[in-house]
Chains A and B, each alone.
Chain A
């Protein structure tokens, strides 16, 4: 893997093509780190000249904002914007729909205006422009169902990019009954990831996993590190982890290409 930081680019007097915003989950969470690496392999394979911020990256503040802590959110946002603007960043890609939404929609009015892409959109562009070819048959004949992340789907109306990318795996894509606009949340959003759920008769991730199981999938595809955790836990709760794997679209593409 070739990974350079913005600092290194700056030292060389160069600008990368795009900044990869790794996000807190992608940096620290063991499961999400695998998604980060899969995406980096894709970027390497497509010869994308990208940079990361490394230790200069900090939480977008998204989760603080949804929890109601606007102070903390804006502190984080203004600090990040200072760094991003100092490096004259124009284009950002991230594997986390929450960072995507926050950077794309909530940073501009605070002075951070960037072109922001979700990694599925970025991969779709790489494929469309011929920079990335996905040819493996690893998933041929497998049944894949895609769980829409709320912050990519409803929040930003991005429904097609992940599906278009998935088609390249040659797998059979089956939609859940609740999909796209009506997709059910995995249960992690709005800071739920970091707290116990309120009293109820079921956990949201279990209900969503049941939606997925109805499609009799071999793989549940995700496009968000938090959804990935929630769906993985849901599959475990249903004791299906032997038959069904939960994989990010970046991982599916990287695996197809045996990267």
Chain B
């Protein structure tokens, strides 16, 4: 009988980790639907970027208020998770505060946890106020309705409740309070429960303990469905983020081959491909759906935590155009999820659903509003590049569909005919000299 709580705990733990692992597998499968891209270079530079940008939060603090508050929540999350280790050990072995034997250092640790728990609670409350009372513009853009809006708040509620439970659990733990070592915050909460019997306190303490750990396990499994995935994916995403100058757009190799062939006077356009060098089916130019994007771009879509720093710096969005770089990332993730579910429902094969990222999620109007100014790329605290997706979709529109705005087609015709975006004769290029 006495092992029932341990068994229940073990079952819950296995279920939670199992379900999480299943979703992580799905996540990896979905990301791998993207095109392959070589990012195995410059390992030390990439590692440095990850340590600076993700671990060190270097880009977060560029906006000091949200940056510092975020740093508190981030440090709190990492440090307080040490306590979760003890909780798991206690849960499995039926011990109570298994680590308390390590001596006075235990009190120091718990003391730090308690202070951080309070700071996290305060920070998260400020975040909630910024979102819901102060209504910061970037949280109230048109893409931030329904689920994205609720998701943002749910995460904050989760954290408030978890921190509260942690402090209540400590406050109602009579032996711990009597130890009077490490109860730096909970000692002020304990009086709220004064006058209650030891039995009642024990029930509250156990209740808080159980709800706290079950809450953590639920939160773990909430991640996959939430923008909160960034707590994990920020690391790989900053590792695989571009190392090139932001202005450098990739040159499509498939195009280079064709252009070289076109420009080679000795090339025989009707020649069969050389033996053993069978010409590959020319791939699609640009992207109309998620499978046409690179897996790093898909990883970025799952990494995006919808903070909207990109959108708040986007010149198109600031002047009322439909384009929002954040929406580009959200749409990419939504469509990728839809494709993933389609694959699940059709026993591992994607069945054409008559939909695609371009048109059904992202409109031409959004794509053509981009000035390629890189403000969104500069802003992203986790090295996401929405511009690269916009460019790939423009490439599809222009090279596969000839669907550029008519003025741009004129401009491109001019370049083709006379080497300038305007209809001037190339022979007149030096006329300014004598004007």
**Whole-angstrom CA separation of A201 from B397 in the bound complex:** 26
Give B248-264 interface residues, CB cut-off 8 Å to A.
248-249, 251-252, 255-256, 258-260, 262-263
Closest to A151 in B: B247
- The number of chain B residues with a CB under 8 A from chain A is 68
B-contact 0/1 string along A170-214, CB 8 Å cutoff: 000000000001101101111111111111111110111000000
Counting CB contacts under 8 A, is B416 at the interface? yes
Answer whether A110 and B251 are a contact pair too, CB < 8 Å, given A70-B285, A188-B371.
Answer: yes
The total of Cβ contacts below 8 Å across the A-B interface reads 216
A-contact 0/1 string along B408-432, CB 8 Å cutoff: 1011100110011110101111111
Binds B, one of A11-19, A74-82, A129-137, A240-248: A74-82
Nearest-neighbour CB distance to chain B for A197, whole angstroms, equals 7
Answer whether A76 and B419 are a contact pair too, CB < 8 Å, given A66-B249, A68-B391, A106-B251.
Answer: yes
* A154 contacts B375, C-beta separation under 8 Å: yes
* B252 contacts A204, C-beta separation under 8 Å: no
Which secondary structure characterizes the binding site on chain B?
helix
**Whole-angstrom CA separation of A67 from B406 in the bound complex:** 12
B247, B259, B365: the one within 8 Å of A74 (CB): B259
Nearest-neighbour CB distance to chain B for A126, whole angstroms, equals 21
* A195 contacts B368, C-beta separation under 8 Å: yes
Counting CB contacts under 8 A, is B151 at the interface? no
A-contact 0/1 string along B315-346, CB 8 Å cutoff: 11011111100000000000000000000000
Counting CB contacts under 8 A, is A256 at the interface? no
B246, B370, B394, B435: the one within 8 Å of A154 (CB): B246
- In the bound complex, residues from chain A placing their C-beta under 8 Å from that of B419 are 24, 57-59, 76
Give A26-85 interface residues, CB cut-off 8 Å to B.
26-29, 33, 36-37, 52-55, 57-59, 61, 63-72, 74-76, 78-79
* A187 contacts B412, C-beta separation under 8 Å: no
- The number of chain A residues with a CB under 8 A from chain B is 72
* A189 contacts B373, C-beta separation under 8 Å: yes
A-contact 0/1 string along B280-318, CB 8 Å cutoff: 000001100000000000000000000000000101101
Closest to B397 in A: A68
Counting CB contacts under 8 A, is A218 at the interface? no
Counting CB contacts under 8 A, is A10 at the interface? no
* B373 contacts A185, C-beta separation under 8 Å: yes
- In the bound complex, residues from chain B placing their C-beta under 8 Å from that of A200 are 316, 319-321, 369
Closest to A157 in B: B245
* A57 contacts B429, C-beta separation under 8 Å: yes
Answer whether A68 and B429 are a contact pair too, CB < 8 Å, given A110-B256, A190-B370, A204-B315.
Answer: no
Can you name 16 A-B residue pairings with CB atoms under 8 Å?
A68-B286, A68-B393, A69-B395, A69-B404, A76-B419, A101-B247, A150-B373, A154-B375, A154-B377, A155-B374, A185-B373, A194-B411, A195-B408, A197-B321, A200-B320, A203-B319
Using CB atoms and an 8 Å cutoff, list the residues of chain A in contact with chain B. 1, 3, 5, 22, 24, 26-29, 33, 36-37, 52-55, 57-59, 61, 63-72, 74-76, 78-79, 101, 104-106, 109-110, 150-151, 154-157, 181-182, 184-185, 187-204, 206-208
